[in-house]
Amino acid sequence: MNKGQHRGPEARPRVIGGERGWWFLGPGGIARLKPAHLTPERELRPQAERALRERGLFAPPAYRSYSLTVLTSTNCNLGCAYCFQNTEQDVTGGSRPPRIASSRLTSGTIGAILEFTRRRQAEAGLDGLVLMLFGGEPLLNPRACVELLERAGGLGLRWASMTSNGTLMTVPLARRLADLGLRDVQVTFDGDRPDHDRIRVRRTGGGTFDDVVAAMAAMTAATPIRCGIRVNVSHHNHEGIDALVERLGRDLDPSRCSLYFARVGDVGVGYGNDLAFSDDMAARFIRWQRRALDLGFTVPRPRAHAPCQACSYRDGRYGAVVNADGTLSSCWETAGKPEWRVGTVRDGYLPPDRTAGRWISCEESYRYDDDLSELTRFHDSVDAALLDYLSATGRLGSGAT
């Protein structure tokens, strides 16, 4: 296999029904289909499949960069009850749930991580690096964020992102991180201000909504860094999300932000979501997405079912998730949990017979009790409506035929 032509587990194309026909979502792009292109069972007819293959829509992009996620700190200044890194609920009913063991990234561990990455890049024939700064809250250790970005430049850093709660970002720090290659910061909102401030609380008490909005507005005004906004949707907050979209449209620069709505599954200790994957909820998602687009936000396009570069390969061939202490996990959800360790950056991955029961993918991280057919129908309905709207408003862009 030639350098830069790496393939792994196959992406699974999707065929979903829109208002005026069907949409094909392949790893290589999107195409509109006519009813004649499908069998009554919604399978592609051979001639249609050949045409899509000839256009390259079945071919996934080649991996050219190694995917590296690093936890710079496992601590967090928030005490959200549903966090997947909690080990149990706060028995006092407060905002200090016990968390995974405290660990903080040091210069020595950064060196070991980058040497491990250099070896893995060479083994896979990759000459670039895509880096995600993760936590806990990564900005509880800003020096490590800066140092990791500085030193990662020697490994062909092509893109760097951060997943943060947004409360600790300052303009001077944002400028420094942007100069070193940070390109986007992902933050989460749990509904409009009242719901968010009840759900995403500081460990010392108090809400965070206004601080997150102010920090993201200042960051995007002062630097090229974009803000990726995830909106968690649950029965706790869905009634306020229309107001949230309007508020974010007023208080942020939508042209510098993306907006993504996600129905939350069971990811923590003692957290549940009673919100059903109903037609009514699909209609709400469709309304939120269209309003976000009209306000000028980017809404991520639907795509084929694609493997994760880090966790879909049982040997960690094309990516890794590294805890602040240098231990390896298969995905972000299990990082920092000793029982899920699959190796260390100094010694490499454990043998496959020892990692088999510890290796999970990010697709398995969110657990839903709902019927799979209802889940699929919900996502297909929302995604088809988004593609219809993007097409009707001339915003579908490149990659669609």
DSSP, collapsed to helix, strand or coil, labels residue 311 as: coil
Best CA proximity match to 360, nearest among 387, 381, 339: 339
The pLDDT value given to residue 263? 86
pTM: 0.93
Q: What is the pLDDT of residue 91?
A: 86
| Residues 342, 358: Cα–Cα separation, whole Å | 7
Q: Measure the CA dihedral 390/393/396/397, to 10°.
A: -160
pLDDT score for 373: 83
At 345-371, the pLDDT tens digits run 999 999 999 998 899 887 654 444 556
Query: How many Cα atoms sit within 13 Å of 170 on the Cβ side?
Result: 6
- The whole-number pLDDT of residue 2 equals 39
Instruction: Return the pLDDT at 56.
Output: 94
Query: Are the CB atoms for 253 and 202 separated by under 8 Å?
Result: no
Q: Tokens 């869905």 correspond to what residue? A: 238
Residues of the chain with pLDDT under 70: 1-10, 265-271, 363-371, 398-401
Q: In whole angstroms, what is the distance from residue 238 CA to residue 244 CA?
A: 10
DSSP-derived 3-state class of residue 375:
helix
pLDDT for res 340? 95
Homologous superfamily assigned to 65-306+363-387: Aldolase class I (3.20.20.70)
As a whole number of Å, the CA-based R_g of the chain is: 21
Q: Which pLDDT score, from 0 to 100, does residue 267 have?
A: 57
| Every domain range in the chain assigned CATH 3.20.20.70 | 65-306+363-387
Per-residue pLDDT, 371:
64
DSSP states of 28-63: TEEEEE-GGGB-TTSPBPHHHHHHHHHTTTTPPPPB
In angstroms, rounded to a whole number, what is the distance separating the alpha carbons of residues 188 and 260? Answer: 9
pLDDT of residue 372: 76
Closest CA to 31 of 8, 11, 13: 13
DSSP secondary-structure letter at 10?
P
**CB 240 within 8 Å of CB 284:** no
